[in-house]
Structures are given as C-alpha cells and as structure tokens.
Chains A and B, each alone.
Chain A
C-alpha cells in the first residue's frame, strides 16, 4: 500500500502525538509492568485529531501553493515562448540599413508590425517621433534616423493590406 505525502504526514502526526500523550500520561514511579497503557483521554484524542487535521490542511495548502507556483511558472514560460518568435535579421528584406532597423525596432516589438505596414517616407518619419513621444523610444536623430527611415520607406511603401488574400487564387 502506498501512502501519499499528505497521508504520511498525517499518520506521522498522529503517532507522534500518541507517544507524547503516553509519555505525559505516565505517572512517575509506576513500574512498567503495571503500564497497561490507559486509553487516551477524550481530550488527548481530540487534540491529536485536531492536530492531524491541521497537518493535513497544511499539507493541502502547501500542495495547492506549489501547484499554483508550478502552473504560474509554466504559463509564464509558455507565454514568453509565444512572445519570442526567434527572429533574425534576415526576416527583413536585404538592404542598406537592415541591421540597424532590426536592432532598433526589435528592442521593443517583433517585426510582424513592420512587415505588415506600408507607409510613405513622411509617415514613417512621423512614426519615429510618435514612438518616442508615446511609446518611450529613445529619440532617433541624425544619420541613424535617415538610415532607418529610408530603409523602411524603401522596403515598406504604401500598399494594400495583405489581409483577405484571394481565397481562389492560391
């Protein structure tokens, strides 16, 4: 017969308490021969049962907590994996500025939003300011800004949305 951790804990607690009760119940000077162990008092029994129940409840709470923690950890890891597509630079079209664009943009977001966008150079340029003002991006200025915006404008110009691809033309 195998016992669960909870049951073992509970049995252990009952035994320990039983011994304790016996020890205290032993009047000094009695000889062991006379020590037909008297039945535990109702008080001792009740105490032992209450302690056993408390131990069971504690074990139960421990188990629930470790289950919750394990669930939380697994869920956090699972969602971290979903949020990390493992992209590399070559997901973007080759061109001057690709390396800088990939490094800067993926500091915050994956490239999906870039690859599904299409704007004029002016709109891309404005987007740099918007990300700084509204999204906390470090300001992008000077040559690096020109490089990034030129790349985006060249490779992601205005176009129709890629959604709703023709279902009969595949």
Chain B
C-alpha cells in the first residue's frame, strides 16, 4: 500500500520524475514500476508490454483532483474551465446524441456575455458592408423573409479542441476532446446575403463583429473579431443562423443571431452577430495574426518562443473521432469480454473514411462501421465492437481517418504556443472486474 500511495503522490507532486521512474531509460516500462502501476490501479495491465515508451496509461497520465463542474440552469453538468470568460467543455460521453441537445453544447466566450437583446428578436440588425456595391442593413426578420431559410446539422468545434494533449502545456483553456457540437442550425446562407450586397472583385476576405463586450468591459474594443477567405464564406453550409434545434439560439450561444462556419475554428462562428465587413485583405481584428488561431508551417520546438509571423491561419479543422457510449473511468463487471462501441467522427471540410479502435495501445486495431453524414459538415456516426482477452485495465483508443487518408496521431502534433489544432486520438480508460 505504501508503494501505491507513493506512486500516486509522486504523480500528483512531480509527474516528470514519476514519469522518469515509471519508464526505463529506453522508454520501456520497468518491472517494478509496472507492478507498482498495476497495484496502484488495482488491476493488471494486460497489454503493458506494448505501451509506448514515455506514454503513461491514460488513467495515470494526469494528476488526480476534481474538475469543477458547471452548475447552470439549462445546461448539463459540463466541465467548467473558467467563469470569466465563461468556458465549459462537454464530457465525451455526453456527446452521444446525433444532434447535440442545447444543454450539452460546450460554451466558449472570449469576452463578457452581452446583455440579452430585450426587443423583438426580429428587429435585431446586421450590416453587410465594405467591398460591396450595395451595403445592407437588415433586420433578422428581413433576413428570414428575403432569403431561403435552410436547416442543417453542422459541426462546430473550438480551434483549441484537444489542446490538453500538448506537451509541454500551452496557453489557453485546457480542452480535452469535448469542444465540439453538432447542432441543427436554421438560418440563411451567408453567400445569398453577400450576393444581395453585390460583392466587388476586391471582396476577398470577411471580418465579423458581434455585440459581446471585451473582457475588461471596455466597450470600444471587440472581444474577438475574426474573418475568413471569401471562398469559405460562400460555401452553402456557412450560415447566418437564428435557430438552434428548432428554438431561438440561447443567449449564451449568441442570441438572436450568429454565424455558423462549420469545419473551421469555432471563433469564425461569431456570436451576437451584428456586422460583416468584406475586405480586400485578411481581417486584422482581435484573434487574427501572430499566434492566434495560427499554426506553424515549419514545425517549431515544443515549448519554444515564437511570434507566429511565419504561421498560417487554421482553415479546416483536423480529423477527430470520439467514443461516446462508454465514459472514461467506467468500471465493468468481471468477465466482460465484448464491448459494443459507438461514437462520432468528423474531419473539418473533409469527411471521415474510417474509424478504428484499439484495446492494446495501438498494437492492433478493429475497424468500426462509419455512416455517411446526413449533410455536408455534419459529423458521422460510427459503431462496432471490440473483444477483450481478460479482466483488467484497458484503454480504448479511438482513431479516425479522413477522406485523404490522414489519421489521428498518438500525440498532439505541430506544437504551437497557443495550442491549436491538436487531434491526438481519444483514450478512454476502463477497468474490467
């Protein structure tokens, strides 16, 4: 017992040293350390010999300690990452629905949440201006009556989803894999509205503005204001949305009007949308340039300093899959040998070609069945089953492959100072018996 405690304490107090002790010089798990780890887990680790060097079991990888929970009417008990700005992540096992219910939507704010628009929502105004022949100043009611209204299931994912997998730790909210949603959004196509404004040839980029005040409360500066190349704005799945899952968009998610730019960083889905400017050059608002929503072209040393001058803006988000019917930390009855699994996978602008699950740290993989998306930019359902050889501690590693054949890596790749676009495969620890 003393050994168990000391190992746990060591991980809590000095994970680097614990890591060094647990793994041999060549990265193999040493006999005594392995035994200690098994004892600490209260289980044997059947596939220990195949554990990659330097990679801790998911169950031991991080320090123990409660994660605060969001307590808020109308929201499920999400993982609270911060109160101001209010940021909360959806646990992976809460993402099992095909259409993400509103209470399970993750929350990301860059500034303060604005006061709720108290007038008739149909009187909310949005301007389309800049490089257009006919600047528009439309009410939500006019948007709805003048343009075709469409309803689509669309993924929206934070650009920092998966950030917690970066080593060393980067700046920003330490998201696991749960900064993703797949809501049913109703709105008008941004491209129809841009066309109505008569874009000039010089309209090559967008810039988006919303009503949320800057965190400091300074109303003269936007909290966040990002933009995209015109090609993405003209996609038929990029919406100016006013309903989510058939209801008015909740205040916290951008009531009454927001952009939905599926497959690209969620910061392009401007909440409380009140203005879109068409520009000849990339937008320069807060959240653009430097290391913001940008990743290295030439990989940099993890943990090093960089001003991001040579980085590029993230466009499509990378491929990712989630296991959603078994929660991390589930204990199963002794003798459990077969697990029916299901989840979702998505790949930004691309589609998901395959999902595989490994129970042995990646030594072997079982292929799952992957459904087609009901519409472009919706996530895809996958399901299948795996067999377990014995009781004990297992990790279910979920790995999706996109339509170009690119797979999720074991570890977060292309380290960058603000920790974007990490898509290390998801790891779900279970204990049988």
Interface size class of A (residues with CB under 8 A): 35 or more
Asked whether B86 lies within 8 Å of A136 as measured between CB atoms, the reply is: no
A109 touches which one: B82, B218, B251 (CB < 8 A)? B82
Asked whether A113 lies within 8 Å of B63 as measured between CB atoms, the reply is: no
In the complex, A33 has a CB within 8 A of chain B: no
Asked whether B120 lies within 8 Å of A162 as measured between CB atoms, the reply is: no
Q: Which residue of A lies closest to B165 (CB)?
A: A161
Known: A118-B169, A161-B169. A167 touches B83 (CB 8 A): no
CA–CA, A168 and B81, complex, Å: 22
Interface string of A96-122 (1 = CB under 8 A from B): 000000000001111011001111101
Q: What residues of A have a CB within 8 angstroms of the CB of B221 in the complex?
A: 136
CA–CA, A85 and B37, complex, Å: 37
A168 touches which one: B59, B167, B174 (CB < 8 A)? B59
Asked whether A75 lies within 8 Å of B305 as measured between CB atoms, the reply is: no
List which B200-241 residues lie within 8 A (CB) of chain A: 214-216, 218, 221
Asked whether A164 lies within 8 Å of B58 as measured between CB atoms, the reply is: yes
Asked whether A168 lies within 8 Å of B393 as measured between CB atoms, the reply is: yes
Known: A85-B83, A136-B214. A160 touches B63 (CB 8 A): yes
CA–CA, A164 and B15, complex, Å: 14
CA–CA, A83 and B251, complex, Å: 14
Q: What residues of B have a CB within 8 angstroms of the CB of A71 in the complex?
A: 116, 118
A165 touches which one: B64, B113, B117 (CB < 8 A)? B64
In the complex, B65 has a CB within 8 A of chain A: yes
Q: Which residue of A lies closest to B167 (CB)?
A: A160
Interface size class of B (residues with CB under 8 A): 35 or more
Name the distance in Å between A130's Cβ and chain B's nearest Cβ.
8
Name the distance in Å between A148's Cβ and chain B's nearest Cβ.
16
List which B36-58 residues lie within 8 A (CB) of chain A: 40-43, 58
Q: Point out which of A83, A117, A126, A166 has the most chain B C-beta atoms below 10 A from its C-beta.
A: A166
Asked whether A72 lies within 8 Å of B117 as measured between CB atoms, the reply is: yes
Q: What residues of B have a CB within 8 angstroms of the CB of A134 in the complex?
A: 286, 290, 292
Asked whether B84 lies within 8 Å of A72 as measured between CB atoms, the reply is: no
A162 touches which one: B16, B60, B174 (CB < 8 A)? B174
CA–CA, A107 and B85, complex, Å: 12
In the complex, A5 has a CB within 8 A of chain B: no
Asked whether B86 lies within 8 Å of A161 as measured between CB atoms, the reply is: no
Q: What residues of A have a CB within 8 angstroms of the CB of B68 in the complex?
A: 112
Asked whether B62 lies within 8 Å of A83 as measured between CB atoms, the reply is: no
Asked whether B62 lies within 8 Å of A165 as measured between CB atoms, the reply is: yes
In the complex, B173 has a CB within 8 A of chain A: yes
Q: What residues of A have a CB within 8 angstroms of the CB of B117 in the complex?
A: 72
In the complex, B80 has a CB within 8 A of chain A: yes
In the complex, B404 has a CB within 8 A of chain A: no
Asked whether A168 lies within 8 Å of B84 as measured between CB atoms, the reply is: no
CA–CA, A60 and B427, complex, Å: 55
Known: A76-B115, A119-B169, A168-B393. A160 touches B64 (CB 8 A): no
Interface string of A124-145 (1 = CB under 8 A from B): 0011001001111100000000
Asked whether A122 lies within 8 Å of B305 as measured between CB atoms, the reply is: yes
In the complex, B72 has a CB within 8 A of chain A: yes
CA–CA, A170 and B8, complex, Å: 10
Name the distance in Å between B57's Cβ and chain A's nearest Cβ.
8
CA–CA, A117 and B113, complex, Å: 23
Asked whether A84 lies within 8 Å of B86 as measured between CB atoms, the reply is: no
In the complex, B176 has a CB within 8 A of chain A: yes
Q: What residues of B have a CB within 8 angstroms of the CB of A28 in the complex?
A: none
Q: Which residue of B lies closest to A64 (CB)?
A: B120
* Known pairs A116-B81, A164-B176, A165-B63 / 6 extra A-B pairs, C-beta < 8 Å: A64-B120, A68-B120, A82-B72, A85-B84, A162-B62, A163-B174
Q: Which 7 A-B pairs have the closest CB atoms?
A: A167-B329, A72-B118, A72-B116, A112-B82, A85-B83, A110-B83, A161-B164
Query: Would you mind naming 11 contact pairs between A and B with Cβ atoms under 8 Å apart?
Result: A65-B120, A84-B83, A85-B84, A112-B81, A113-B173, A118-B169, A135-B215, A163-B164, A164-B62, A168-B331, A169-B40
